[in-house]
Structure formats: structure tokens, C-alpha cells
Amino acid sequence: MATGPPAHDGADDLETRFTGALEDVTAARLVTDRYLDALERAARPSEPDRRDDVLLVVTELAGNAVQYAPGPFSLRLRRTFDGVHVVVRDSNPRPPVPRPWSPADNTGAVGWYLVNALATQVNVETRPEGKDVHVFLPW
């Protein structure tokens, strides 16, 4: 479990809100890329792929928010003592559900599996007006 006091050594906590438009998936990825630039200056990742893992998870979560939770969503990034805590808040109270994948299915179905495979911990907190997806990733 990646908990503990956040490290404020060059990468401040970040929260950004989006309207929920398709282009917001790219915008969330770009915001995360800039956040990781600052984080990397303060603390090098333990493995070279860690940066790509965080970017992939944010892209998947933002894409899911746009596709399955119409309306605005927010992205919060926070440095933990051993990684990065990503939170995406959206307007759909239903938790993500893994979907079976088949070669004929061109709609994806692997994103939630990827998020869970890359994370050290995933937690979904539902509320009547939406949910928060918390993902802890190693750095």
C-alpha cells in the first residue's frame, strides 16, 4: 500500500478539471507529462518504464471517464513516499468492470486490466453523484 506523507520535493500536488470532451483525454495526458517532468527532476524513477506506466494509466482512466461518465471529470496527481497517487473523479457512480476481450471486439476492453496490472493498489470510491478511482503506481 502506497500511503504516507506526500513528498514535496519539486513536484507539487496537482488537480485539474476537464469538461469531459474527447480531446480532454489528450489534455490529461499532457498535464500528467508536465507533472512527471517536475517529479523526475526531484526524484528519478526506480525503473525507466515507470513514467510510461503513469501516462498509460492516466490515459486509460481519462478515456474511461469520457466514454462511460458523461460530463466533467477531474485528475489529481500526488507524490507518495514510494510512487504516484492518481485519482480520477467522474460523474458515473458505477465502478469499472472488466470486460471480456475478443479479437473481433474493436472497442478495447483491456484498459481496466492494464490499470490493475501496473498499479500497486487500486481503489474505487463510489458516491451518488459519481466515483473516485484511486490508483497507486510505483515510481
pLDDT (tens digit per residue) in 67-126: 999 899 999 999 999 999 999 999 999 999 887 766 676 666 788 999 999 999 999 999
Sequence-separated (6 or more) residues with CB below 8 Å from residue 19: 72
Which domains are seen in the chain, by residue range?
14-138 (3.30.565.10)
The candidate with the shortest Cα–Cα distance to 83, out of 14, 1, 2, is 2
Q: Is the pLDDT of residue 132 over 60?
A: yes
| pLDDT for 3 | 32
Q: Is the pLDDT of residue 38 over 90?
A: yes
Q: Is the pLDDT of residue 6 over 90?
A: no
Q: Is the pLDDT of residue 26 over 60?
A: yes
| pLDDT for 90 | 98
| pLDDT for 108 | 64
Sequence-separated (6 or more) residues with CB below 8 Å from residue 135: 57, 61, 85, 86, 87, 115, 119, 121, 122
Q: Is the pLDDT of residue 5 over 80?
A: no
Average pLDDT of span 46-61: 97
Report d(CA 48, CA 92) in Å as an integer.
Answer: 34
The candidate with the shortest Cα–Cα distance to 58, out of 39, 85, 83, is 85
Using pLDDT thresholds of 50, 70 and 90, give the confidence band for residue 32.
very high
Total-model pTM: 0.87
The candidate with the shortest Cα–Cα distance to 61, out of 18, 103, 101, 104, is 18
Report d(CA 137, CA 124) in Å as an integer.
Answer: 15
